[in-house]
Amino acid sequence: MPHCIIEHSSTIKPDQLNNKVFLGALNSGLFEADGRDIKVRSVAYEHYQTGTTKEDFIHVTLRILSGRSDANKATLSNTVMTQLESLSLVDASITIEVVDMDRSSYSKVIV
């Protein structure tokens, strides 16, 4: 069920990022074993500032339905980070946040 939203510098290939984040979410063991409920999308930025020098960055927001334990959230964050670290980037900042989506107001329909 997670909605994995990747924001990154445009110098990093999105297909690799999408795949790594998908694998990280899948490897967490928190979602369907075949990954059919994992949604990944990415947005590349050409115009950004990272402090006083322009460095590559990846920021992943993992939006999940509320009710998961802190341990589950940490597992998800760690398995995604492990995958992203395997990209062997140089001088790049990688950050991940897990955000709860309120179950009582979340809606979904497949049309």
Instruction: Give the pLDDT confidence of 48-89 residue by residue, as tens digits.
Output: 999 898 999 999 999 999 999 999 999 999 999 999 999 989
Domain region containing 45:
3-101
Query: Coil, strand, or helix at residue 8?
Result: strand
pLDDT at 1 over 90: no
- Distance in angstroms between the alpha carbons of the first and the last residue of the chain: 17
Q: State the average pLDDT over residues 10-16.
A: 95
Q: State the average pLDDT over residues 25-32.
A: 97
Give residue 92's pLDDT.
Answer: 96
Query: Coil, strand, or helix at residue 59?
Result: strand
> For residue 62, which of 46, 83, 92, 48 has the smallest C-alpha distance?
83
Q: Are 64 and 99 in contact (CB under 8 A)?
A: yes
Query: How far apart, in whole angstroms, are the C-alpha atoms of residue 89 and residue 85?
Result: 8
- 85 domain-assigned: yes
Domains contained in the chain, number: 1
Q: Say how far residue 88 (Cα) sits from the centre of its chain.
A: 17
- All residues at 6 or more sequence positions from 90 whose CB lies less than 8 Å from its CB, including other chains: none
- 109 domain-assigned: no
Q: State the average pLDDT over residues 8-35.
A: 97
Q: Enter the pTM of the model.
A: 0.94
pLDDT at 46 over 90: yes
Work out whether the CA dihedral 44, 58, 12, 19 comes out positive or negative.
negative
- 76 domain-assigned: yes
Q: State the average pLDDT over residues 96-105.
A: 95
Domain of 84: which CATH number?
A: 3.30.429.10
- 69 domain-assigned: yes
